[in-house]
Structure 1
Amino acid sequence: MKNLVGLDRGKAERLAVELNVLLADYEIFYQNLRGLHWNIKGKEFFELHAKFEELYKDAFVKIDEIAERILTLEAVPLHAYTDYLETTQIKEEKNVSDGTKGVEVVIDNFRTLVKKEREILTLAADTNDEGTVSLMSDYISETEKTLWMFNSYLK
């Protein structure tokens, strides 16, 4: 049985489940970034304040893209914070004001995201879902580069 975009319905449903995990991860990551942006203090304030804003704006776009991909697969995206908190693999952070700690949080969150993105990429390839493959491939490239940059920042 095929869905609207011609994919095996069962495989597409499994893929949507994993995309919902990624959606929850990005939602919590987004909120972590907002907290870092608001609460960061110290010598790196101006640099990190701007960088965290750049990252949360990017996460906001990805959240919408992931939700729309879930809808394209004929599933329902999670849309309640209780669901996000029950589903996410990312730890909710509170009251981080130290720049080094903030960067470590971002690195840890990105590691979680890229791991899930790779899992979804493999599953999407098995499903012959080029739309999700393309999306995850782009995300992985961006995430890996950002991880390298933030890791370099800490050196």
Structure 2
Amino acid sequence: MNKNILGLNKQTSADSVEKLNGLLANFQIYYQNLRGLHWNIKGKNFFELHVKFEELYTDSQVKIDEIAERILTLQGKPLHTFADYIENSSVPVGKNISNDVEAVELVVSSLSELLEIERVILDLSDTSDDEGTNSMVSDLISEQEKTIWMLNSWLGK
């Protein structure tokens, strides 16, 4: 039998798990960047951005859990070590960023990278009738596109 317990093709589900683990790794780097930005932001926009970065990292924690649980639902094993996250991520790492513009630009570039990964997963889940993954990733994309628009507006772009 080529189908898993969910009625999805086993190989396609394995491919989805691999892609979702990549997304999970990238979200973990994004999350850690947001923590660092929250802690280290300085300047006239401190209060506004300190709160915004906390809002974003709190939201990311929820998303990370949803992604890991989707991997488990597809009968995969979520990555869970920092070594795995670093090895499987392409989101830029932000270190010692305290400047407001540089911080917001890092968030925008990180979200843009996540969107690229998510669109690949969306295509895969669409062609494999994996509505659970498709729905989750579609929601991520919609939210992140709006966040990019808002942050770009803050940047004056």
Taking structure 2 as the reference length, the TM-score comes to 0.98
Q: Give the structure 1 partner of residue 85 of structure 2.
A: 84
Q: Does 1:97 align with 2:98?
A: yes
Distance 1:26 1:19 in 2: 10
Cα shift at 1:55: 0.2
Partner-residue secondary structure (3-state), 1:6: coil
Matches within 5 A, 1:45-56: 45-56=46-57
Q: Does 1:133 align with 2:134?
A: yes
Distance 2:71 2:137 in 1: 13
Runs of 4+ in 1 over 6 A off after TM superposition: none
Matches within 5 A, 1:4-153: 4-153=5-154
Taking structure 1 as the reference length, the TM-score comes to 0.99
Cα shift at 1:100: 0.4
Partner-residue secondary structure (3-state), 2:55: helix
Gaps of 5+ in 1: none
Task: Report if the CA contact (8 A) 2:92-2:106 is conserved.
Answer: no
Q: How many residues align?
A: 155
> Which residue identity lines up with residue 139 of structure 1 in the other structure?
L
Gaps of 5+ in 2: none
> Which residue identity lines up with residue 39 of structure 2 in the other structure?
W
